Amino acid sequence: MATLELERLVKRYGTVEVIHGVDLAVPSGAFCVFVGPSGCGKSTLLRMIAGLETVSAGEIRIAGRRVNELPAARRGLAMVFQSYALYPHMTVRQNLAFGLENLGTPRAEIARRVAEAARMLRIEELLDRRPKALSGGQRQRVAIGRAVVREPAIFLFDEPLSNLDAELRVQMRIELKALHERLGNTMIYVTHDQVEAMTMADLIVVLSKGRIEQAGPPLELYHRPANLFVAGFLGSPKMNFLPVRPAEGGVRLASGDRLAMPEPALGTEAELTLGVRPEHLALAPAEAGAGLAGRVRLVEHLGAEVHLHVETGAGTLTLRTPGEWAAAAGDRVRVVIPPEACHLFGPDGRVVRSACRGPQRG
Amino acid sequence: MASLATSGVLDLVTRTRGKGRLHWTDWLAYGYLLLGLFLMFGPVVWVVLSSFKSEAQLLEFPPTALPYGQVSVAVPGYPEPLPLFRVRMPDGSLREVAQIRRIGIQAQMVDPAAPETILRVDIAGREPVRALSLATENYTALFERFDFLRYLWNSVFITVTATLIMLLVNSMAAFALAKYDFRGRDLVFVLTIATLLIPPTVVLVPVFLVVAKLGLLDTPWGVIWPGAATPTGVFLLRQYMLTIPDELIDAARMDNASEWKIYWRIVLPLAAPALAVLAIFAVMWRWNDFLLPLIVLSRSEQFTLQLALNSFKGEMHTQWGNLLAMTVLTLLPITLVFGFLQRYITTGIATTGIK
Amino acid sequence: MRLAAPLHRLLELVDRPMAALQRRIGPQRFAWIFLLPNLVIFAVFTYLPIVLNFVYATTGGLAVLPSERPFVGLENFASLLDCRDYLDPSSCSKDLFWRSLFNTGRFVVLQVGFMILFSLITALVLNREIRGRGFFRGVFFYPVLLSPVVVALIWKWILQREGVLNAWLVAFGGEPVQWLLDAGWSFFWVVFVSIWAHMGFYMLILLAGLQAIPKDVYEAAEMDAASPWRMLTRITLPLLMPTMLVVVVLALIKGVQTFDEIYVLTGGGPGSATMLVVQYIYETGFAAQPRLYGLAAAASLLLAALLMILTLLQLRANRKSYRG
């Protein structure tokens, strides 16, 4: 168990800078998820922490100690790779033992730890098989087991679930979370899947283009995104974005409708973006006086809920409502935008007004 | 090889394309292949058959297809077995009699059934009785009178040592070129591949000098070292090692393995298929190598089998029997290897394009 | 993979100093440790000899050590190239060199031409739906594995005066021929034996090329009612062309370097009828007394120039074949 701190961390390949000065503090015992689109630098960041990539500038501290110069194996970390990276020519037992043998651990101790990890991960009957003879889920367990036997201060996971099918992924997600609760170690987990991030993390770090966009607890990020990128990245279907201009006592939509905002004045000339999550929009009958007039373009039935795509004068809006919906494409409807659920983002993408809804404000 | 041969021939004769009758082009194709079988295997089979013939029979013209030897019989009253002849008797009948001795154009003969009477026969009227027999003395003489075992040992030593050294040295270089990112890597790779452009025959004279200056003339090491680093081997192994996932090596680094241990315990076992292909080629190259040993090894006790064969060709032009036996023993190992690994070798060459 | 116990212990012995070395120089620079043995051997037995070759070629005398050899400039090249009439080897001061050069040219054209032809026919036959295909592929390939000395001795035994070939000739009412003592026949057999020994290799590459042609192209042609002959000339051969080009250039490069089997089969004779360039280099530098290293090196540089041209051709052919 250990804290992890990154300070002004930079990575350059030749003259190309891919990580632009990252600052982050992960408390001891936290489950921290790095999430972002592919190419955002999250894997590079993880490999720098692991010691597999050199640090161009800045500092990495594990349990308060600078580790920049330490080779990978001496940082007290263990890593689970995306492809699992099990040694194909060794049995499961040998795979688990290899790292401990290299560290000169006594034989009895190796046997004890391997047996314990195997029991914990329910791979005892697989110990004498080769990786080739295992299913995807079993390989995943062995890869985790290889990290567990090392008893590391920090676990690193590099998109470990991306090679599994959907059902198994859900199951492994639950098991990993349980493992974290049981071991209590600090875990750093890289994924591009926001569902994994939301469900597993204590602390989400959203990365984009080699920078941290926002770091914080999952619901905090979901309800109070710091910028357009985070707002758009988390949540499915995505948050609706509409271009707006400030107006007296609120904002004016592209359709000309005015939306009252009880918050302080927003200046006058700036181009703003209004963001509102699909589940916060409500539908009203076409005859109703309130709301934006629009026409349904597409109805997606998911069983428990319905996604509606409605074309309005202010732009296309996606709505998410529970249950079923009898409407069909082409129906005329009205969409009600509740002002208290709206975020406003400035021209630079930063939030200028957060929604009043959320865990803190109810 | 034998089972392959029978199954191949059986298939040829009994089965068709599966569409029923053979098309005339199929007959043409099989005809061509059988002609090829005769042309490609015939000479080797002929040499093997000939190697079992006695010196006397090797001088016969026209030669018989199979090795024959004269039949001898034990006749009561004579200590040694006597050679058997078929003789036309004055009465016109044919009898098989044993020859006691030859005096001028006459021969003293005896009928094994009636050993008391001695017959005198004109040697023009007799013909040896022969039966299939293998003259193994061609082979035994190699061990008794010629230093065959020494040449064999020299060849085996050079082949095995050179192959092992080559696999080690080439795989180390291939690992560095495949899995490390360091300044100058591309230059080293290009320099390595560029040596493909320099055929060994072109640098013959200076290689001789270098070998001589290193004091390696007339030692097996003078043949082993110059060929220990091959661009083909480095290239083949590097291409294969590129397919080993980087994550595996990262995982080993996280497992506290040293770079050497990663090479030895992870990369080398995983490159085993490519190493096996290269090993087969290396054995072939070294076993058959001729020009380099020819200039490096001049003392006959250092000769490889190939050199010994070459020098015997001059020395023993009357002793075809021993020369043929030695030829057969030299081609035997390669033939056996090929018999067992035929599919492996042919697909290995077809995919890598090296020889 | 379970390593045998002694091998395991050996590893541990090597691993400790290696790990210590790695701690001193760092893991990335350790790559040079892996490269070192290979580079040293290359340096000593390939790069150094290339440099030395130029030294030898531009110095004269009989000494082996370059330091004891007087510089003569391009004299060796001049003497090799000294001819009154380049089409008539006997007008050259090094007539043997020119004879071997002419022989090599003649040999390469005949050998490569017929060898590729037969390799192609064999590959086409073996590309059919034929029973025992693997077996026959092995049959044609088998001589490739035999050593040049063995190949030469096999054919020497068949071609000798009392050999099996003459026996057949006599059986069909002919006269025995001294195959290897007649200049014309000797050259024929040198080409024949060399084709016999090497065609399996080229057959294999061509066969691989044929099998890489996608099946659906043939099915499309069949739908288009193409005759077998048109399939061969309009589909198979054009699609095989890139492989063909590579094979031809490869065969040329190998052909120019032919030495061993001819040296053992005919020794270059009768006279110099079958002497090729590499044998000339060997004879001049090693077999003849005195050993003329300078001349041999100069000749090998001329050979290298020729090979360089052929290799460049191959690289171009390769690039074309990758483009498809």
- Per-residue pLDDT, A338: 87
Range of the domain at B195: 139-352
For each of the domains in chain C, give its residue range(s) and CATH number, in order of start. Answer: 5-57 (no CATH), 88-323 (1.10.3720.10)
H/E element, C202? helix C183-211
- Is the pLDDT score of C202 beyond 70? yes
Percent of chain B residues topping a pLDDT of 90: 22
* CA gap A199, C265 in Å, rounded: 80
Mean pLDDT, rounded, for C7-22: 78
- Per-residue pLDDT, B15: 37
Sort out which chain A residues have CB atoms less than 8 A from C27's CB and list them. Answer: 71
On whether residue B150 sits in a domain, the answer given is: yes
For testing contact with chain B, the best of C23, C46, C118, C168 (most B CBs within 10 A): C46
* CA gap C317, C208 in Å, rounded: 17
- Is the pLDDT score of A129 beyond 60? yes
* CA gap C186, C178 in Å, rounded: 9
Last residue of a domain, one of B113, B132, B151: B132
Side-by-side strand order, sheet with A186-191: A77-80, A154-158, A186-191, A31-35, A203-208, A211-216
On whether residue B81 sits in a domain, the answer given is: yes
Whether B227 and B333 map to the same domain: the answer is yes
Instruction: Please state the domain count of chain B.
Output: 3
- Is the pLDDT score of C56 beyond 50? yes
Residues of chain C that touch chain A, judged by Cβ-Cβ distance less than 8 Å? 1, 27
Contact check, Cβ <8 Å, B202/C45? no
- Per-residue pLDDT, B157: 95
Contact check, Cβ <8 Å, B254/A98? no
The first and second tokens of residue B32, run together, are: 């061509």
Sort out which chain B residues have CB atoms less than 8 A from C135's CB and list them. Answer: 4-5, 7-8, 11
Q: Beta strand A203-208 with A31-35: parallel, antiparallel or unpaired?
A: parallel
- Per-residue pLDDT, B5: 45
* CA gap A314, A293 in Å, rounded: 9
- Is the pLDDT score of C285 beyond 60? yes
Contact check, Cβ <8 Å, B250/A82? no
Answer with the residue of higher pLDDT: C302 or B352: C302
Q: Which residues contact C42 (CB under 8 A, 6 or more apart)?
A: B191, B192, B195, B229
Confidence of residue A264 (pLDDT cuts 50, 70, 90): low
- Per-residue pLDDT, C4: 55
* CA gap B116, B110 in Å, rounded: 8
Neighbours of C131 (CB within 10 A): 21
Q: Which residues contact B37 (CB under 8 A, 6 or more apart)?
A: C136, C139
Q: Which of A219-233, A338-352, C1-15, C253-267 has the lowest mean pLDDT?
A: C1-15
Neighbours of A311 (CB within 10 A): 13
Answer with the residue of higher pLDDT: C57 or C88: C57
Whether B286 and B340 map to the same domain: the answer is yes
Q: What residue in B sits closest to A47 (Cα-Cα)?
A: B250
Whether B105 and B158 map to the same domain: the answer is no
The closest of A347, A350, A349, A353 to A259, measured between CA atoms, is A353
Whether B195 and B245 map to the same domain: the answer is yes
Q: Which of A69-73, A120-124, A308-312 has the lowest mean pLDDT?
A: A69-73
The first and second tokens of residue C260, run together, are: 């061993």
Percent of chain A residues topping a pLDDT of 90: 48
A82 in contact with B at a CB cutoff of 8 Å?
yes
Contacting C residues, span 122-181, partner chain B, CB-CB under 8 Å: 122, 125-126, 128-132, 134-150, 153-158, 162-164, 166-167, 170-171
Q: How far is A78 from chain B (nearest CA, A)?
A: 7
CA dihedral C13, C19, C21, C24 (to 10 degrees): -150
Contact C108, C191 (CB under 8 A): no
Of B7, B170, B258, the CB nearest to C18: B258
Instruction: Convert B43-52 to b/e letters by CB count within 10 Å (16 or more is b).
Output: bbebbbbbbb
C312 in contact with B at a CB cutoff of 8 Å?
no
**Chains touching B (3+ CB pairs < 8 Å):** A, C
For testing contact with chain C, the best of B7, B155, B171, B201 (most C CBs within 10 A): B201
What pLDDT digit, counting tens, does each position of A151-188 carry?
A: 899 999 999 888 888 888 898 899 899 999 999 999 99
What pLDDT digit, counting tens, does each position of B110-131 carry?
A: 777 777 777 777 777 777 777 7
Contact check, Cβ <8 Å, C1/A71? no
Answer with the residue of higher pLDDT: B3 or B146: B146
Q: Which residues contact C174 (CB under 8 A, 6 or more apart)?
A: none
- Per-residue pLDDT, B352: 63
A&C contacts, CB < 8 Å: 3
DSSP string, C211-269: HTS-HHHHHHHHHTT--HHHIIIIIIHHHHHHHHHHHHHHHHHHHHT--HHHHHHTTT-
Confidence of residue B9 (pLDDT cuts 50, 70, 90): very low
- How far lies B33's CA from each of B4, B16, B40, B328, C240, in Å? 15, 15, 10, 25, 22
Contact check, Cβ <8 Å, B245/A85? yes
* CA gap B290, B298 in Å, rounded: 12
For testing contact with chain B, the best of C29, C58, C153, C265 (most B CBs within 10 A): C153
Whether B161 and B226 map to the same domain: the answer is yes
Q: How far is B275 from chain A (nearest CA, A)?
A: 15
* Strand intervals (E) in chain C: none
CATH 2.70.98.10 fits A238-353, yes or no: no
Whether B230 and B151 map to the same domain: the answer is yes
Q: Domain map of chain A by residue range?
A: 4-231, 238-353
Confidence of residue A285 (pLDDT cuts 50, 70, 90): confident
Contact check, Cβ <8 Å, A71/C27? yes
Q: How far is A14 from chain B (nearest CA, A)?
A: 12
H/E element, C297? helix C293-323
Q: Euclidean distance between the first and final Cα of chain B, in Å?
A: 22
Whether B128 and B143 map to the same domain: the answer is no
C63 in contact with B at a CB cutoff of 8 Å?
no
- Per-residue pLDDT, A269: 62
* CA gap B247, C196 in Å, rounded: 48
* CA gap B224, B230 in Å, rounded: 12
Arithmetic mean of pLDDT over chain B: 81
Domain with residues A4-231, CATH architecture? 3-Layer(aba) Sandwich (3.40)
The closest of B12, B71, A357 to C131, measured between CA atoms, is B12
Answer with the residue of higher pLDDT: A78 or B62: A78
Of B251, B265, B269, the CB nearest to A81: B251
On whether residue B180 sits in a domain, the answer given is: yes
Whether B187 and B117 map to the same domain: the answer is no
Q: How far is A94 from chain C (nearest CA, A)?
A: 10
Side-chain-side CA neighbours of C259 within 13 Å: the count stands at 19
- Identity of the amino acid at C47: Y
Sort out which chain B residues have CB atoms less than 8 A from C301's CB and list them. Answer: 202
Q: How far is B265 from chain A (nearest CA, A)?
A: 9
Q: Nearest 5 degrees, angle CA C158-CA C159-CA C162?
A: 85
Asked casually if ipTM beats, i.e. exceeds, 0.85, the reply is no
Contact A276, A341 (CB under 8 A): yes
Give backbone dihedrals phi and psi of B293, rounded to 5 degrees, phi first: -60, -35
Contact check, Cβ <8 Å, C1/A90? yes
A71 in contact with C at a CB cutoff of 8 Å?
yes
On whether residue B274 sits in a domain, the answer given is: yes
Q: Which of A76-80, A158-162, B30-34, C214-218 has the lowest mean pLDDT?
A: C214-218
On whether residue B82 sits in a domain, the answer given is: yes
SS3 of chain A: CCCEEEEEEEEEECCEEEEEEEEEEECCCCEEEEECCCCCCHHHHHHHHHCCCCCCEEEEEECCEECCCCCHHHCCEEEECCCCCCCCCCCHHHHHHHHHHHCCCCHHHHHHHHHHHHHHHCCHHHCCCCHHHCCHHHHHHHHHHHHHCCCCCEEEEECCCCCCCHHHHHHHHHHHHHHHHHHCCEEEEEECCHHHHHHHCCEEEEEECCEEEEEECHHHHHHCCCEHHHHHHCCCCCCEEEEEEEECCEEEECCCCEEECCCCCCCCCCCEEEEECHHHCEEEECCCCCCEEEEEEEEEECCCEEEEEEEECCEEEEEEEECCCCCCCCCEEEEECCHHHCEEECCCCEEEECCCCCCCCC
- Per-residue pLDDT, B1: 41
- Per-residue pLDDT, A252: 85
Q: What residue in B sits closest to A72 (Cα-Cα)?
A: B254
Q: What residue in A sits closest to B245 (Cα-Cα)?
A: A85
Neighbours of B149 (CB within 10 A): 10
- Is the pLDDT score of B69 beyond 50? yes
Instruction: Residue B101: give its domain's CATH number.
Output: 2.30.30
Sort out which chain A residues have CB atoms less than 8 A from C8's CB and list them. Answer: none
- Per-residue pLDDT, B12: 40
What pLDDT digit, counting tens, does each position of B147-160 carry?
A: 888 999 999 999 99
Q: Which of B60-64, B266-270, C225-229 has the lowest mean pLDDT?
A: B60-64
Q: Euclidean distance between the first and final Cα of chain A, in Å?
A: 35
Contact check, Cβ <8 Å, A89/B270? yes
Q: What residue in C sits closest to A91 (Cα-Cα)?
A: C1
Strand partners, A345: A273, A351
Whether B122 and B198 map to the same domain: the answer is no
For testing contact with chain B, the best of A48, A87, A150 (most B CBs within 10 A): A87
- Identity of the amino acid at B324: L
The first and second tokens of residue A131, run together, are: 């990786």
Whether B264 and B323 map to the same domain: the answer is yes
- Per-residue pLDDT, B60: 72
B&C contacts, CB < 8 Å: 308
* CA gap B22, C216 in Å, rounded: 24
Confidence of residue B8 (pLDDT cuts 50, 70, 90): very low
Confidence of residue A48 (pLDDT cuts 50, 70, 90): very high
